[in-house]
Chains A and B, each alone.
Chain A
Amino acid sequence: MNREIICINCPLGCRLEVTIEEGKVAKVTGNTCGKGVEYAQTECLNPTRTVTTTVSIKNTLYALLPVRTSKPIPKDLVTKCVQYLRRIEVKAPVRTGEIIVENILGTEADIIATKNLEAL
């Protein structure tokens, strides 16, 4: 199977053609450096994304608290992750780095606050 992706490592944005055989990356063309090959591997076989979104928060300056995953999670869980977080509500005060949800969707990544918000 062939896939075409754009490498995101640097502004060159090389268009890579990746050949996948038996669940492994057999060939990569179009890259200008080795990083392109590495990227092709992860992006085609095990793509991950850092998720940044907000959760509702009460008792502070704003209605929402910005949060992130503590490390990238599988790309196909992003939508579910955001959907889950839409129902979460926390209360101020909150500190940057505080864990809001542990081990989101079993990914071993936590959802952490990215901002300090004081209680009113």
Chain B
Amino acid sequence: MYDVVIIGGGITGCSIARELSRYHLKVCVLEKEADLCCGTSKANSAIVHAGYDAKPGTLKAKLNVEGNVMYSRVCKELAVPFKRVGSVVVAFSEEEVADLKVLYERGLKNGVSEISIVNQEELRALEPNISTQAVAALYTKTAGIVCPFTLTIATAENAYTNGVNFFFNAEVKEVRVLAAHNGRFGFLLKTRVGSFESRYIVNAAGLYADLINQMIGGEPFSLIPRKGEYCIFDKDQGYLAKTVIFQVPTKMGKGILVSPTIDGNLLIGPTAQNIEDKQDTTTTEQGIQEIITGAKKSVPSFAMQKTITSFAGLRSVPNTEDFIISADKRVKGLVHAAGIESPGLTSVPAIAKMVREILEEEGLRCKRKRNFHPYRQPIIRFSELSPEKQRRLVRQNPNYGRVICRCETITEGEIIEAIQRPLGARDLDGVKRRTRAGMGRCQGGFCGPRVIEILARELKIPLNQVTKCGRASSVLDGKTKDSGLEEKGGWQ
């Protein structure tokens, strides 16, 4: 019997898991995909917002600012790269300057520190490549950029080290509310990989949180998937933005931004399109055109031929217009952390704390562990070591002497580590998210075959069982000499 079952292995579920792992509790995370970080957490703007955007008095406003402050410490403990590069909201007209003032006031109300309005000259000093049409900007120093995959995975690894169990391919199919006695209640959750009994459920199921809620019988809420398309550029375009460059926000969201990524690429996007299909992460012709046009408004000089890839993510937009972080009113023991759209990524450290507090209010006794280990050892980034450290490392372990990903200089040693760690990679995307192999300009052209070989060897499976992201996504078909043509009677 678990104390808490968390449904969802994205950044929200993993952060809650880590928070709960500070206490003497039996906790597990049920993730429906083959790996962590497969939903919204892997396809977003990767921004830690300052917090002037959300309406004062909302959870979004409160948790954004709280979360922002907590980020430095969390990333330090988890050894996750994070940089407070600052952000600018750029105005292109006098009306927009008035909008900046509104955001400024809102920022002050929400408790944002180090926020100011800068004029054209100051803006140009901050952002030499900003469009000449920009007239002023709202500048905040506390905004930052992070790697959402590294953060999600690091958070989970640390939760695991501190005793949380993780189950994959564990889509929750049925939840039975167990009969309450003596004020005690509980749930039985059925998944493909087994049944789980738990006193509490935390619903951090991302896009599917409304369906999970429905399954359990909680007070209804709905989530609309909102698609955002993005485009990533080669690192040699990274210099074009020094801060996260926003435009004045609209009803649909924060608009098209231009941002450096923590690894030095340039990111543009997202669009904001409400859709119906919770699985539709297709990129579209119009979407890409929209983000290019939007981005060029802020930074006209990025080179289209330096595109590395484009992708799309879905945010869950709650019908309540604010995060749904509360104990369910109908079902005792059910706590939601749903509708975590922007500024979700920024807020998670504070969301996790809030969820734990709600669980305590609902009767969960949280006794602090004395031996909680907040620190996590990162996967060695060979390319970032000094030559002396590199030399020593290769001598200790020759696998670090074989470079597999040419574009990002990732060695076999790092890839093996990514696979062999607890909650390690089981497929190409898993290796990519943990090591960056395959994220470079050749998009896996050189490293792909070699990573497949390493996965097959380490996981002891044949090459053609290696998948891109679990399920039916095997990369290779049969052996060249094996396609059963003889039985078919040849071809033609």
Q: Which residues of A line the B interface, CB within 8 A?
A: 54, 56, 63-64, 79, 83, 86-87
Contacts and interface: CB of A to CB of B under 8 A. Distances in A.
Contacts of B486: 83, 86-87
A79 B481 CA distance: 14
A64 B480 contact: yes
A54 B480 contact: yes
A54 B485 CA distance: 16
B481 A86 contact: yes
A118 B486 CA distance: 30
B487 to A, nearest CB: 12
B480 A79 contact: no
Nearest to A54: B480
Contacts of A64: 480-481
Interface of chain A: mostly helix, strand, loop or mixed:
mixed
16 contacts: A54-B480, A63-B479, A63-B480, A64-B480, A64-B481, A79-B490, A79-B491, A79-B492, A83-B485, A83-B486, A83-B490, A86-B481, A86-B485, A86-B486, A87-B481, A87-B486
Interface residues of B, number: 8
Contacts of B485: 83, 86
A80 to B, nearest CB: 8
Contacts of A56: 481
Nearest to A55: B481
Nearest to A88: B481
A79 B486 CA distance: 12
Which 10 pairs show the lowest CB-CB distances between chains A and B? A86-B481, A56-B481, A83-B490, A64-B480, A79-B492, A54-B480, A79-B490, A83-B485, A79-B491, A86-B485
Interface of B: 479-481, 485-486, 490-492
Contacts of A54: 480
Contacts of A83: 485-486, 490
A1 B333 CA distance: 84
A79 B485 CA distance: 12
A13 B457 CA distance: 48
B177 to A, nearest CB: 55
A62 to B, nearest CB: 11
A89 to B, nearest CB: 8
A54 B479 CA distance: 12
A84 B491 CA distance: 13
A78 B491 CA distance: 12
A79 B491 CA distance: 8
A79 B490 CA distance: 9
Contacts of B490: 79, 83
A51 B485 CA distance: 19
A56 B480 CA distance: 9
Contacts of B492: 79
A52 B485 CA distance: 19
Given A63-B479, A86-B485, A86-B486, 12 more contacts: A54-B480, A56-B481, A63-B480, A64-B481, A79-B490, A79-B491, A79-B492, A83-B485, A83-B486, A83-B490, A86-B481, A87-B486
A65 B241 CA distance: 50
